[in-house]
């Protein structure tokens, strides 16, 4: 084979390779564009709520109430949890709304603060009590919990009453896969042209 033929063959091979890379790049660009367009609102919501959750402890109590201190951290002086629960439920109905559900989500006991936080399941209210005296230290609107449920999609499970978290599972799966595709295709859209120029 002559030198010219060798050069021509190498040039054709390089051209074919570039064409193949350009085709892959076009496919990735299309996937990237459609993923971004289809899930734009969801990406925006996830980004915004994630930002708010990152700042919740630095929001001056707007998103997350400060943790108040009870009178003592000595456990032997604390009231029984069932007594504190009754106080929290009465405080909720008296101070917030008598029609609210008393179903508990969790009781967050802070031994280092001498305080118990009662968080309700069917609404976004919380009561902080002094463990020793039962005094209501703070009644809070748990905005950070609401934002977190929007962030992970469980807000629909909350309002539609789907107990198994099916909507959250579907939403987080779709968003996780979409973000992975978005990241991979975005990287290739940056790296692909550099590779083609080599």
Domain extents in the chain: 16-52+150-197, 65-141
Average pLDDT score over residue span 83-109: 97
- Sign of the alpha-carbon dihedral angle for 84, 85, 90, 91: positive
- The larger pLDDT score, comparing residue 18 to residue 71, is at 71
Spatial contact of 186 and 31, defined as CB atoms under 8 Å apart: no
- 181 — pLDDT class (breaks 50, 70, 90): confident
As a whole number, mean pLDDT of residues 120-127 equals 96
Provide mean pLDDT across the span 32-55.
89
CA atoms within 13 A on the CB side of 149: 16
Instruction: Read off the DSSP letter of residue 106.
Output: E
**pLDDT tens across 53-74, in order?**
999 999 999 999 999 999 999 9
Confidence of residue 12 (pLDDT cuts 50, 70, 90): low
The reported pLDDT for the residue numbered 68 is 96
Contacts of 139 (CB under 8 A, 6+ apart): 91, 92, 95, 96, 125, 126, 127, 128
**187 pLDDT higher than 70:** yes
Q: Quick one: 128 exposed, middle or buried, by C-beta within 10 A (0-12, 13-18, 19+)?
A: buried
Asked which of 30-34, 127-131, 144-148 is least confident by mean pLDDT, the reply is 30-34
Cα separation, 146 vs 134, whole angstroms = 27
Of the candidates 139, 159, 171, 166, the residue with the CA atom closest to the CA atom of residue 49: 171
* Statement: residue 159 has pLDDT above 80: yes
Residue 136 confidence (pLDDT) above 80: yes
């Amino acid at each position: 084979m002559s030198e010219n033929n060798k050069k021509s063959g190498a040039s054709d091979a390089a051209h074919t390779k570039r064409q193949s890379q350009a085709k892959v790049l076009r496919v990735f660009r299309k996937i990237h564009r459609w993923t971004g367009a289809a899930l734009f609102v969801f990406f925006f919501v996830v980004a915004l709520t994630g930002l708010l959750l990152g700042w919740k402890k630095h929001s001056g109590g707007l998103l997350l109430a400060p943790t108040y201190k009870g009178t003592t951290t000595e456990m032997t002086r604390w009231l029984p949890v069932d007594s504190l629960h009754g106080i929290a439920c009465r405080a909720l109905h008296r101070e917030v709304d008598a029609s609210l559900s008393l179903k508990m989500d969790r009781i967050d006991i802070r031994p280092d603060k001498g305080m118990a936080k009662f968080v309700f399941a069917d609404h976004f209210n919380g009561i902080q009590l002094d463990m020793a005296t039962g005094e209501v230290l703070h009644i809070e609107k748990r905005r950070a919990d609401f934002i977190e449920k929007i962030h992970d999609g469980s807000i629909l499970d909350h309002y539609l009453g789907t107990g198994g978290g099916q909507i959250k599972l579907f939403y987080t799966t779709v968003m996780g896969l979409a973000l992975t595709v978005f990241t991979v295709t975005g990287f290739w859209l940056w790296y692909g042209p550099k590779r083609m120029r080599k």
